Structure 1
Amino acid sequence: MDAADLHRIATEAMRARGLLPAFSPQALAEADSLRSAALPRGDDVRDLRGLTWFSIDNDDTRDLDQLSVAEPLGGGAVRLRVAIADVDVMVARGGAIDGHAAANTTSVYTAAGTFPMLPELLSTDLSSLHEGRERLAVVVEMAVQTDGTVSAADLYRAAVLNHARLTYDAVAGWLDGVAAAPAALAAVPQLEDQLRLHDALAQRLQQWRQRRGALHVKTSEARPVFEDGRLVDLRAEEKNRAKELIADVMIAANGATARFLAERGLPSLRRFLKAPRRWDRLVQLAARHGVTLPAAPDAAALDGFLAERRRVDPAGFADLSLAVVKMLGSGEYAAAAAGEAGQGHFGLAVNDYAHSTAPNRRFPDLVTQRLVKAALAGQGSPYDAEALAGIARHCTLQEDNANKVERQVLKAAAAFLLNGRIGEVFDAIVTGASAKGTFVRITRPTVEGRVVVGFEGLDVGDAARVRLVRVDAGQSFIDFERVR
């Protein structure tokens, strides 16, 4: 199987799930017209190009959505600025590009490649915060205290410049003391100080959330490995210190954005995660390890259990994390009226949370950016309550469809890799158990498949030995039987 085979499977899966795999000629023409367009600057745009902005992302990421910079304040506090690409200035509401983005609502990242929400001329070029390129941005400025509290925040427009494009693995290796410093640290003055300040600041922010019950889990995702255009492996890519650094900073920015809109009297799109429906199963899972969780969902108690298991069984913590994540379920979007408190996010232990930091690849973030810019201009909401509610429902639906496409293509790739391994036995963990079937995840390659024989009595979080009995790359089938 080569990349072209996978791309065909991905394209068919996109269409089957109601997602658009390609842009219309009108959308591409709109994008092309922006090549030489003069973007409106306005008197309200601050010139912050001289600050030591930097980005950290995956090695192959080209749609850079955010930069950050920090500086010490008195008494141990820190001023943190997060610059978010001003995508709205290029994507006219109601235009062809906006229509495509509103239909898909997200970029779809498959083993066959990315199906971007915006034309690549924008998302990976004109609206991407590339190193050395002047860009317009919406800046979230926060004062973070020594205990991780965000005591004050403001939002405004600015011109920014990315002085260093860094990667997760390089930064994490350096912070952990197992790799040399990234070359940019020697080339960009004050960059090393910025990274160390960000690392300390992120730990403050994370600890503040963990005191409130934020869950600290170890997750990974499989990424395809090609050699000479042929798929040869699916390798697990885990969280690291640099990824957590960026995640903590962005969570803070998303919370500050939600509160800003509430304070300005505008409605918003919120991201929330309900208390887990399968809390009883989490209670059972903890009891296996001699830990008693309360009968009602309690994030702090669950995180305490996770922290203890990380300490006593680091080798098994990834499987435990996977089981917990599966039982937590998926986040959703909801519209919050002006002045209305948002629903909380159980996993992050935050309220008033709005996705805002990735407008190149998520439509809710683009909508939120338009709401923020309306607030800054002293205007009313560009979306009424009914429109926002409809957007929230559609974004939740399409996110689920995108996830299904990603899983289907990943399974097709894994089925190809497993084609010659029928009859082989694997260690697995149960990731799903319902009327739709019982599913397990194996490693090497990292993928999920269905247990078609012997699934009785299995539940999420159980360890199992399974034998591979059938694969079909074209249909994305991977079937196992339980080995007792």
Structure 2
Amino acid sequence: MAHGQGAGDFASLRAEFALPESFSPGALAEAEAVASDPAPGCHPREDATGLPLVTVDPPGSKDLDQAMLLERRGRSGFRVHYAIADVAAFVSPGGALDAEARGRGQTLYLPDGNVELHPAILSEHAASLLPGVVRPSVLWTLDVDADGEPFAVRVRRAWVRSQERLDYDTVATALRDGTPHPSVALLPELGRLRRELAMLRGALEPQVPEQRISTGPQGGWALVRRPRHDVEEWNAEISLLTGMAAAELMIEAGIGVLRTVPEAGDDAVDWLRRSARALGVPWPDTAGVAEVLSGLDPAEPSSLALHAGTVRLLRGAGYTAFDGEVPDCVGHAGIGGPYAHVTAPIRRLVDRFATEVCLAVTAGDEVPEWVRRALPELPRLMGLSDARASQVERACLDQVGAWVLADHVGTTFDGVVLRSGSSGTAEVFVENPPVLARCAGVTAQEGTEVTVRLTEVDVANRRVCFEQA
């Protein structure tokens, strides 16, 4: 068996985390009833079906939350049309579907099938912004100046019809060939502008090794390193632009729910400076963390270790709800400003409520009472959901890592020391297969390439152990 392949199923993992296998009969009945007739008279809608919107997602995605159209505004500015699936048109407040979504919090992605926030009849069909069909949406229009800064925002309910379902690879290929879809031809230009602004804001984006589970060539599961895709990053900037605009609307109105990460303290930043010095990474006195990280090649071992250490600066992530007085801490250190989740309501609970706040305040209406009642509870619900999602993702990666390596005890591998621990232990990143693991007997410094030997694999407990060779 090659290093990159293993076999097994995730039934025990699903049982361990008590992941639901299906929706309640009441929730399914509600979803089926509303799928063909989404709240027809509840919300007036603009007809925006003439906008040539397209979706850009990972290959094979069916739960399509967003569709975009990028236009030139004047000689050098931009107009961004960003349609978001209107899940509130399908989910009645206080109903069985609403209750089930609150209990789940978000869609969980497992290699052998997703645990969805909403039934597939909605998430992959009636609510999804699939091409060629009219769908209810919440349509954001953002006017952006030549520097990439938004100066006007409009949000309203609309009917839309996506023209085409694109993915990162097809968009990248078309851009490289000089034949991009007209609706996203400006994505590289605007995406780069927004990424430059993120650095100027001090946004922190640690580029740690990302693992992905895929199917092996002869079946089973494989661990691969997830590539960083320019198109994916530019696409994410449109979502971040919208989320930051939503946060500003809510702060100005004094009501809403934000995704928050507190700024790192001086001690944490000083620690990272010392780490950079030990790794031989230049850090000018006048440079901030974001500026230093932006100038590094994350493929270099020393850069990899510094990026891994930067994660320590992003602790304390959570959600902040308010109705009246705006709290002192409303920023997101990873983004460099206030931010709210509003662009993935099919996959994440909080977006539905935050979107309703934005719709109400921009229209000059009262925020619906069902939203106001839910706001204080959303940070707890999303906190529990985020924790479970992180644990499930880590468990899946660890499980596949154990399966892949089960027959290779005693084999040596190339790796990089990311973080040193106590008593000679360290976290290492093994290059092939891409595995993050603890390693004993480490004498090398952080950011050093090392050879490690696999000493133990415990498949049942999803644990692998290495030692420095």
The reply to whether TM is greater than 0.5 is: yes
Match of 1:326, as an amino acid? V
Where in structure 2 are the equivalents of 1:303-452 lying within 5 Å? 303-310=290-297, 315-316=300-301, 319-320=304-305, 322-329=307-314, 331-338=317-324, 340=326, 343-351=330-338, 353-375=339-361, 376=363, 378-382=365-369, 387-430=374-417, 438-451=426-439
Find the aligned partners of 1:25 and 1:262 in 2 and give their Cα distance. 39
Find the aligned partners of 2:358 and 2:421 in 1 and give their Cα distance. 41
Match of 1:474, as an amino acid? A
Q: Is the 8 A contact 1:6 1:413 kept in 2?
A: no
Single out whichever of 93-102 and 382-391 deviates more from structure 2.
382-391
Q: CA deviation at 1:422?
A: 0.7
Where in structure 2 are the equivalents of 1:171-210 lying within 5 Å? 171-175=171-175, 177=176, 192-210=181-199
Single out whichever of 437-446 and 410-419 deviates more from structure 2.
437-446
Q: CA deviation at 1:405?
A: 1.0
Distance verdict in 2 for CA 1:316–1:60, change over 3 Å? farther
Distance verdict in 2 for CA 1:350–1:282, change over 3 Å? same
Q: Is the 8 A contact 1:426 1:467 kept in 2?
A: yes
Q: Which residue of 2 aligns with 1:282?
A: 272
Q: CA deviation at 1:149?
A: 1.1
Where does structure 2 lack aligned partners over 5 or more consecutive residues?
A: none
Single out whichever of 389-398 and 86-95 deviates more from structure 2.
389-398
Find the aligned partners of 1:289 and 1:30 in 2 and give their Cα distance. 59
Where does structure 1 lack aligned partners over 5 or more consecutive residues?
A: 186-190
Distance verdict in 2 for CA 1:401–1:462, change over 3 Å? farther
Q: Which residue of 1 aligns with 2:226?
A: 237
Find the aligned partners of 2:419 and 2:368 in 1 and give their Cα distance. 41
Match of 2:16, as an amino acid? A
Single out whichever of 63-72 and 342-351 deviates more from structure 2.
342-351
Distance verdict in 2 for CA 1:315–1:291, change over 3 Å? closer
How many residues align structurally? 459
Q: Which residue of 2 aligns with 1:475?
A: 461
Distance verdict in 2 for CA 1:97–1:338, change over 3 Å? same
Give the secondary structure class of the aligned counterpart of 1:6. Answer: coil
Q: Is the 8 A contact 2:398 2:462 kept in 1?
A: yes
CA-to-partner distance for each residue in 1:360-384, whole Å, 9 max, x for gaps?
Answer: 1111112212323444471235357
Q: Is the 8 A contact 2:86 2:137 kept in 1?
A: yes
Find the aligned partners of 1:205 and 1:462 in 2 and give their Cα distance. 33
Find the aligned partners of 2:358 and 2:264 in 1 and give their Cα distance. 31
Question: Taking structure 1 as the reference length, what is the TM-score of the superposition?
Answer: 0.85
Distance verdict in 2 for CA 1:82–1:32, change over 3 Å? same
Single out whichever of 146-155 and 112-121 deviates more from structure 2.
112-121
Q: CA deviation at 1:23?
A: 1.9
Find the aligned partners of 2:214 and 2:330 in 1 and give their Cα distance. 39
Q: Which residue of 2 aligns with 1:123?
A: 123
Find the aligned partners of 1:79 and 1:422 in 2 and give their Cα distance. 56
Find the aligned partners of 2:352 and 2:221 in 1 and give their Cα distance. 37
Find the aligned partners of 2:122 and 2:371 in 1 and give their Cα distance. 27
What do you get for the CA RMSD once the two structures are aligned?
A: 3.1
Among residues 247, 250, 255, which one is paired with 1:267 in the alignment? 255
Find the aligned partners of 2:93 and 2:418 in 1 and give their Cα distance. 40
Q: Which residue of 2 aligns with 1:188?
A: none
Give the secondary structure class of the aligned counterpart of 1:361. Answer: coil
Question: Taking structure 2 as the reference length, what is the TM-score of the superposition?
Answer: 0.88
Match of 1:9, as an amino acid? S
Would you say 1:22 and 2:19 are equivalent positions?
A: no
Would you say 1:13 and 2:1 are equivalent positions?
A: no
Find the aligned partners of 2:303 and 2:71 in 1 and give their Cα distance. 35
Q: Is the 8 A contact 1:209 1:350 kept in 2?
A: no
Q: Is the 8 A contact 1:370 1:382 kept in 2?
A: no
Give the secondary structure class of the aligned counterpart of 1:132. Answer: coil
Match of 1:136, as an amino acid? P
Match of 2:11, as an amino acid? R
Q: Which residue of 1 aligns with 2:247?
A: 258
Match of 1:261, as an amino acid? M
Match of 2:313, as an amino acid? L
Distance verdict in 2 for CA 1:240–1:285, change over 3 Å? same
